[in-house]
Amino acid sequence: MEKRAHNFFAGPAALPYEVMKKAQEELLDFRGMGVSVMEMSHRDKAFIAVADEAAADLKKILGIGDDYAVLFLGGGATHQFVMLGMNALHEGDEADYIVTGNWAKRAYEEGQIQGKANLVASSKDLEKTFSELPEIKKENMSPKAKYLHFCSNNTIYGTQFFDFPEPLPGVGLVSDMSSGFLSHKFDATKFEMMYAGAQKNIGPAGVTVVVLKKEWAEKTFTKKLPKSLDYNFQIKKESMFNTPPCFNIYITGLVFKWVLENGGLEGMEKRNRKKAETIYGAIDQYPDFYRGYVTNKAHRSWMNVTFNLPTPELEDEFVKAAKAKNMLGLKGYRDLGGIRASIYNSTSPESVQFLADFMEEFKKNH
């Protein structure tokens, strides 16, 4: 195997080695066609089969049927913050939002532009901002809301929902799942819409996966919009209204196959639970030295592990020493600092154990 770094970048992030090798093998000659996926028309039957396979595999992973549509769109998950409100909210319409981090806050702000966005719960104003999930009270929700929106995993601060919020009856449940997508078992049929920027957990940057319940979309998205911004039109055109990010869809499809080959959501949950226990175990063993940012252990993310050391200088030394041992991406988010280890589906248990062993060694040396 080629020399590969231990990749803890938060996004773009690690991809499965097997997927990278498959893409390498097919890079110049896709399935005997003599061209790369990057070179063929998105209207060609060979590429349409790639997109169709990816959508079908995702439905299989999620346990959903053809009453859901799978879209492959550009613009990133932040573009969905805009599209969601733009499609769903006429002037005076309401939507409910839960704010648990920077991206959830941005989604809420975009909702305010399009209609009336109700703040149902927020952990922003805690003594340690976003250090745990907020209490979600039904009395703060609006029965007039078109949807309840939340972010399933907080990439920056390191919290994650495992038990998802429940909206009021008749209100659609919508989630930005970018950094927690496919990381553990959950009931996808409870959602009217979920979306994920691929660059965290399922593929390279440049494509966003949107999963929509067709009946809900038809009922909820009734505004006349430019075609490229209209979810129902994109469903009708099966993501092929204009040229989609073809190579990114191809890679994402290979990742879906890798997930299925490795046990689906159940396999990912087993894998990710073990990795999280390994890193948090190292933190909890030395709580005065490795200071976890998240205050409620039940809210700790399996995807993004955040912690501090006693001084910023020691944190800088930690990052430099880790890099010297071929561990990349451990510096915390620019607004938070500290250390962040992003251990998405594709990050190997061996890399996580290597980091835990390094943490043990670094503590003993300091």
Last residue of a domain, one of 206, 233, 261: 261
Among residues 310, 309, 296, which one has the least CA distance to residue 130? Answer: 296
Active-site option among 57, 96, 146, 200:
200
From the list 103, 216, 258, 302, the catalytic residue is 103
d(CA 361, CA 350): 16
Same domain, 361 and 315: yes
Total domains present in the chain: 2
- Say whether both 312 and 326 belong to one domain: yes
pLDDT of residue 269: 98
Question: SS3 sequence, the chain?
Answer: CCCCCEECCCCCCCCCHHHHHHHHHHCCCCCCCCCCCCCCCCCCHHHHHHHHHHHHHHHHHHCCCCCEEEEEECCHHHHHHHHHHHHHCCCCCEEEEEECCHHHHHHHHHHHHHCEEEEEEECCCCCCCCCCCCCCCHHHCCCCEEEEEEECECCCCCEECCCCCCCCCCCEEEEECCCCCCCCCCCHHHCCEEEEEHHHHCCCCCCEEEEEEHHHHHHHCCCCCCHHHCHHHHHHCCCCCCCCCHHHHHHHHHHHHHHHHCCHHHHHHHHHHHHHHHHHHHHHHCCCCCEECCCCHHHECCCEEEEECCCHHHHHHHHHHHHHCCEECCECCCCCCCEEEECCCCCCHHHHHHHHHHHHHHHHHC
Q: In this structure, are 257 and 318 located in the same domain?
A: no
Domain boundary among 228, 261, 294: 261
Same domain, 113 and 68: yes
The domain of 160 spans 18-261
Q: Note whether 101 and 114 are same-domain residues.
A: yes
Q: Active-site residue 44, yes or no?
A: no
Angle at 89 between CA 88 and CA 94, to 5 degrees: 115
- Tell me: do 165 and 193 sit in the same domain: yes
Residue 333 belongs to some domain of the structure: yes
Burial class (CB in 10 A: 0-12, 13-18, 19+), 281: exposed
What CATH number is associated with residue 276? 3.90.1150.10
Q: Do 254 and 270 lie in a common domain?
A: no
Do residues 319 and 347 share a domain?
yes
The side-by-side arrangement of strands in the sheet containing 339-342 is: 291-292, 304-308, 339-342
Give every residue of the chain whose pLDDT is below 70, as ranges: 1
Q: Is 357 a catalytic residue?
A: no
pLDDT of residue 15: 97
Of 235, 261, 287, the last residue of a domain is 261
Residues 213 and 337 in one domain: no
CATH of the domain at 37: 3.40.640.10
Among 146, 176, 216, 230, the active-site one is 176
Give the pLDDT of residue 1.
53
Residues 113 and 221 in one domain: yes
Q: Are residues 95 and 215 in the same domain?
A: yes
Residues whose CB falls within 8 Å of the CB of residue 223, separated by 6 or more in sequence, listed in order:
86, 87, 88, 90
Determine whether 124 is an active site residue.
no
On whether both 360 and 337 belong to a single domain, the answer is yes
* Residue 3: per-residue pLDDT: 84
Q: What pLDDT digit, counting tens, does each position of 313-363 carry?
A: 999 999 999 999 999 999 999 889 999 999 999 999 999 999 999 999 999
Can you tell me the distance from the alpha carbon of 58 to that of 72, in angstroms, rounded to the nearest whole number?
Answer: 12
Taking the CB of residue 129, how many other CB atoms lie within 10 A of it?
A: 15
The predicted pLDDT at position 99 comes to 98
Distances from the Cα of 279 to the Cα of 32, 342, 343, 346, 359, angstroms: 44, 11, 9, 16, 9
HSE-CB for 215 with a 13 A CA cutoff: 6
Tell me, yes or no, whether 198 lies in a domain. yes
Q: What is the pLDDT of residue 17?
A: 96
